[in-house]
Amino acid sequence: MDFEFSDNLKNVKSSEIRDLLKYIHLSDMISFGGGLPNPETFPSQEIKNILDDIIDNYASSALQYGQTDGLAYLKNELKNYLLKDENININPDNMMITTGSQQALYALTKIFANPNDYVITEAPTYVGMISSLNANSVRAVSVNMDNHGMITDDLENKLKMLKSMGIKPKFIYTIPTFQNPAGYTMDLDRRKHLLEIAYDYNIPVIEDNPYGDLRYSGNKLPTLKSLDANDIVTYLGTFSKVMAPGLRTGFTLSQPEVIHRFNMLKQSLDLASDSLSQYIAYEYLKRGIIYEQVPKTIELYKRKRDIMLESLDDNMENAEWSRPDGGMFLWVKLNKNIDSSKMLKRAIENKVAYVTGSAFYYNNPEKNTMRLNFTYSKDDDIKEGIKRLAKTINEEMKNY
Ligand SMILES: Cc1ncc(COP(=O)(O)O)c(C=O)c1O
């Protein structure tokens, strides 16, 4: 039949990253695209043991529908973990367990913004946030970044400009620590400045922190949430990068009014997040497995980051790149004349893949950029893949 579709998804494009995943499986292809955690980090045996115990002890509730706001046991464990790990003191009533933090991005966009409203994002920003904005017909004004994270002076200028036009953005979305895609981390002065600006303009802040636990160098910085004296920050966390993404378990910390609205919306999204996964996450925290697992993940990813940085230093000309202290990605800027989307065909011919930077801009993309994932490939493949990428760039440069 000829379907007549709503306008709701007219702005949503298929993610270039998802489209790229198909290349991962081609033989000989080395892919720095995708954003997958390395399966070596999954605590499979521990999860197997936990599952056995859950089924023996709590099958009747772990296989049942759960509460919309999440498993109370898990929330209590998270409260302890967040206090210890992030110095965040949270009442479990101000917490919502989510189906990955991706669900929170969608829900918070819907909760805070009407169609055609504006929000603030970093440029570049997480592609899943761009999808959530597009799915809700919400527009973004982008703030520039450098090695020290979001340029808060630029934020202030843009808010001033918007105010003069009578526009008040509905929230400021930031990934301050080991940003996806750029790998940048916002320094302490800028964190404080960002909060001052948000207080002045009375705009909520959404702090997305999926990578904060994965630090390989440098000193830990306080989260915006822990610095927030005025309860303006909504904080998103996830088990995806510290346990396993397939369990789709995340959490949101916010004010009771926000959590209440989220609860109402979530009833229409999925009633509640997966009970079994929440029990697994609960036991994972309670048994302290997270404190053994994260250091192992850090060791593996640090080695891979170092290999990629060394390979870039040794092979790459005509480009600059970020040197992330943690997370899973680094950001490459090529000669201004190179469009990394156009270059991708040549890269695929040379059997290496990346994500083109344009995918991470709400508008006005810097086309000479790309994101490289350093956590997934084998060590030797990282070295070989960077050589192939350098060769690709050199071939491309001959056109200019
Ligand atoms: C910045 C950021 N936010 C949110 C997510 C979504 O994570 P999940 O839904 O698996 O918790 C990701 C995943 O890669 C991410 O990089």
| pLDDT tens column, 135-187 | 999 999 999 999 999 999 999 999 999 999 999 999 999 999 999 999 999 99
Do 349 and 242 fall within a single domain?
no
Confirm or reject: Cβ of 124 under 6 Å from ligand 1.
no
Q: Ligand 1 atom 6: the closest Cα is on which residue?
A: 102
Given a cut of 70, is residue 226 above it in pLDDT?
yes
Question: Are 305 and 378 contained in the same domain?
Answer: yes
Query: Is there an atom of ligand 1 within 6 Å of 208 CB?
Result: yes
Question: What CATH number does residue 211 fall under?
Answer: 3.40.640.10
Phi, psi torsion values for 300, nearest 5 degrees: -65, -50
Using CB atoms within 10 Å of the CB of residue 52, give its burial: 0 to 12 exposed, 13 to 18 middle, 19+ buried. Answer: exposed
Q: Are residues 316 and 203 in the same domain?
A: no
Task: Specify whether 207 is located in the same domain as 325.
Answer: no
CA 166 to ligand 1 centroid distance, Å: 32
Would you say residue 128 lies in a domain? yes
Residues 73 and 175 both lie in one domain: yes
Task: State whether the beta carbon of 177 lies less than 6 angstroms from ligand 1.
Answer: no
Tokens at residue 109, please? Answer: 């966009």
- Residues 260, 52 contacting (CB under 8 angstroms): no
Confidence of residue 398 (pLDDT cuts 50, 70, 90): confident
The one-letter amino acid code at 29 reads M
> Which domain, by its residues, includes 224?
63-288
Q: What is the pLDDT of residues 101-133, one digit of tens each?
A: 999 999 999 999 999 999 999 999 999 999 999
CATH label of the domain that carries residue 314: 3.90.1150.10
Mutating to test ligand 1, I would choose from 78, 178, 208 the residue with most ligand atoms within 8 A of its C-beta, which is 208
126 lines ligand 1 (CB under 6 A): yes
Q: Cα separation of 265 and 271, whole Å?
A: 9
In a domain, 380, yes or no: yes
**Boundary of a domain, candidates 288, 310, 338:** 288
* pLDDT-above-90 percentage for the chain: 90
5 confidence band (pLDDT: 50, 70, 90): confident
pLDDT value, residue 80: 96
The best mutation among 240, 241, 373 to test binding of ligand 1, ranked by most ligand atoms within 8 Å of the C-beta, falls on 240
Ligand 1 near 128 CB (within 6 A)? yes
Q: Give the position, in ligand 1's atom list, of the atom nearest the Cα of 105.
A: 4
Q: Which alpha helices (H) appear in 34-126, and where do they start and end?
A: 44-62, 72-86, 100-112
| Least confident window among 48-52, 238-242, 343-347 | 343-347
Number of domains in the chain: 2
207 and 296 share a domain? Answer: no
Does one domain contain both 261 and 123? yes
Our answer on whether the CB atom of 176 is closer than 6 Å to any ligand 1 atom is no
Q: Are residues 256 and 298 in the same domain?
A: no
pLDDT in tens, 328-346: 999 999 999 999 999 999 9
* 274 alpha carbon – ligand 1 mean position (Å): 17
Average pLDDT over residues 381-393: 97
Does 131 contact ligand 1 (Cβ within 6 A)? Answer: no
Ligand 1 atom with the smallest distance to the CA of 103 is 9
Q: Would 3 be classed as within a structural domain?
A: no
Residue with the two structure tokens 């440069």: 397
pLDDT at 368: 96
- Measured from the Cα of 245, ligand 1's closest atom is 10
Type of residue at 232: I
Find the radius of gyration of the CA atoms of the chain. Answer: 21
102 lines ligand 1 (CB under 6 A): yes
Model confidence, pTM: 0.96
CA distance 292 to 309: 26
